[in-house]
Chains A and B, each alone.
Chain A
Amino acid sequence: MIELQNVSKSYTIKGGRRNILNGVSMALPWDNIAILGRNGAGKSTFLRMIAGIEEPDGGDIRRNKTISWPLGFRGSFHRELSGVENVRFVARIYGQDTEEMVEKVRDFAELGQFYHEPVKTYSSGMGARLAFGVSMAVNFEVYLVDEIMAVGDARFKAKSKKAFQDRLPYSRLVMVSHSMNNLREYCQTGLVLDSGKMTYYEDIEDAIKRYEQLNEA
């Protein structure tokens, strides 16, 4: 689904540069993939590169599936605009039927009257529900998730999970999380990022084992 060809990426930190990827070539299979690595290894940056928000310094990333934006932030919602208006914006940039999408998100996010109020009046749970609802309303083949599953109450979490499972025949997940339980719940395979290298594990348990070794070292 995603093919990396000799991809390099580094970023500047105080006192030098940190390598995220150092000439990595790899074809990622269409699977539910957990991304693991120590703090600062570049998990989120890697997600942003897959999404196409950040370009690699060198090399090429090819995608043949529709890929979501990294879920798990509500920053892209305009605080002064209502939920509905924000949904319309996303529908427009993704070329979706605006009113159809407004209805889908209305059903999913359960915001009631708040759907028509400015996003700045939302609680963080409401913002997360809106963000999740919007992402489920566009039919992506790959969902990029950056720690979103932790938000919402138990009932909404169950609903999100069911929504994902209903989508599973057509969609996959690439996920960054610090909760191993979360990763185990959703992903079967794993990628470990460590000082510029990336290793793919067909079994997520092997990936978690490797990650724990790194943390002990």
Chain B
Amino acid sequence: MKTLTTHIRVILALVLRESRVRHGRSKAGYTWAIVEPVLQITILTILFREFRGGSDGSGAEFALFFATGVLSFNMFRNTAAYIMNAFEANRALFNYPMVKPIDAVLARLVLDLATNILVMAIVLGFQITFMDVPPPEHVPLMALPLALLALMALGAGLSLAVIKRFLPSAQNLYHIIMGPAFFVSCIFFSLSSIPTQYRMILWWNPLVHGVEGFRVGYFADYSAPDINLLYLFTWVCCLNFFGFVGEWLTRFKTT
């Protein structure tokens, strides 16, 4: 019990600390963590709408469709990338006996989860208020795939952090994979809109299930019959198992 309260205390202290240093101590500080993705998503939305949505006259609807995709996708991509660097960024702190590497990882998960949810609320709130799009249909149903994506980010980020203990270039590998992943994770098209032979290939991408699952909760009558959250959950379990066990096994290998 005492160790649990210590962990919680340490994680909270780390969250406060990380929020101060994440954006290089500019005057605006943590505000940038919110403003940056909001601007990014806004610009991307405008761009994609010009390319695609402009012709069929459903610009606002496409903007919402795209926003739900990119917001849930970012929940995974940004959080995993942020967690991946938790060990190096906090190395000096591990000289305090109660600060464990896992605490640094969980602190980054908490902070990035909060950041992503805030960004989500701002982007979706803006569209609902000013672009006359429908509000979310079923919030708990949205929260489940989102939670799975966050947990998968934890597993993937931790696994990568462990691999990086031996192979620092694993970081580049992650970015190489996540580049194309943006185009095959159903961010600007739905799974049911693609031809069957490609659909079965995309189905294996776990992010598809998180992104499309999020939309099933958001839209009243969204058709996504192939979505399987259990498949996503399997990825969550495997990555977390690898990450936590790997961390435990390699804990004192690099000092």
Interface residues of A in 49-70 (CB under 8 A from B): 51-55, 67, 69-70
Chain A residues, CB < 8 A from B21: 78, 80-81
Given A54, A69, A92, A118, which contacts B13 in the complex, CB threshold below 8 Å? A92
| Residue A95 lies at the interface, judged by CB distance under 8 Å to chain B | yes
Assess the B12–A67 pair: CB atoms within 8 A. no
Residue numbers in A under 8 Å from B252 (CB-CB): 54-55
Report the 7 A-B pairs with minimum CB-CB distance, sorted nearest first. Answer: A92-B13, A52-B97, A75-B92, A80-B25, A76-B92, A93-B13, A51-B97
In the complex, the answer to whether A92 meets B12 with C-beta atoms within 8 Å is yes
Residues in A with CB closer than 8 Å to B13 are: 89, 92-93
The chain B residues found within 8 Å of chain A, CB to CB, are: 6, 9-10, 12-13, 16-17, 20-21, 24-25, 92-99, 251-252, 255
Nearest-Cβ distance from residue A81 to partner chain B, whole angstroms = 6
Tell whether A85 is near chain B: CB-to-CB under 8 Å.
Answer: yes
Q: How far is B96's CA from A76's CA once the two chains are assembled, in angstroms?
A: 8
Asked if residues B17 and A89 are in contact (CB atoms below 8 Å), the reply is yes
- State in angstroms the CA–CA spacing of A81 and B90 once bound together: 13
Majority SS at the chain B contact face: helix
B97 near A78: Cβ-Cβ < 8 Å: no
Most buried by B among A67, A93, A94: A93
B235: shortest Cβ distance to chain A, in Å?
31
User: Which B residues are in CB contact (< 8 Å) with A90?
Assistant: 96
A-B contact pairs, 21 of them (CB 8 A): A53-B94, A54-B255, A55-B251, A55-B252, A69-B96, A69-B97, A70-B95, A75-B95, A76-B92, A76-B95, A78-B21, A81-B17, A90-B96, A92-B9, A92-B13, A92-B16, A93-B9, A93-B10, A93-B96, A93-B99, A94-B98
* Distance (whole angstroms) from the CB of A18 to the closest CB of chain B: 14
A22 to B252 Cα, complex, angstroms: 18
List residues of chain B with CB within 8 A of the CB of A78: 17, 21, 92
- Looking at A53, A75, A94, which has the most chain B CB atoms within 10 Å of its CB? A53
Q: Which of A51, A67, A75, A89 has the most CB of B within 10 A?
A: A89
A-B residue pair count with CB separations less than 8 angstroms: 55
Binding site for B on A (CB under 8 A): 11, 51-55, 67, 69-70, 73, 75-78, 80-81, 85, 88-90, 92-95, 118
Q: Is the CB of A53 within 8 A of B97?
A: yes
The complex places the Cα of A193 from the Cα of B232 at a distance, in Å, of 53
**How far is the CB of B15 from the nearest CB of chain A, in Å?**
10
> Smallest distance from the beta carbon of B210 to chain A beta carbons, Å?
34
With both beta carbons as reference points, the residue of chain B lying nearest to A95 in the complex is identified as B9
Within 8 Å by CB of A53, from B9, B20, B24, B95, lies B95
Q: Which residues of A contact B255 (CB under 8 A)?
A: 11, 54
The one of B9, B10, B17, B97 in contact with A67, judged by C-beta atoms closer than 8 angstroms, is B97
Decide: B20 and A81 in contact? CB cutoff 8 A.
yes
A73 touches B95 (CB 8 A): yes
CA distance A14 to B17 in the complex (A): 37
Minimum C-beta distance from A45 to chain B (A) = 9
CB distance from B20 to the nearest CB of A (A): 6
Tell me the complex Cα distance, A213–B52, Å.
82
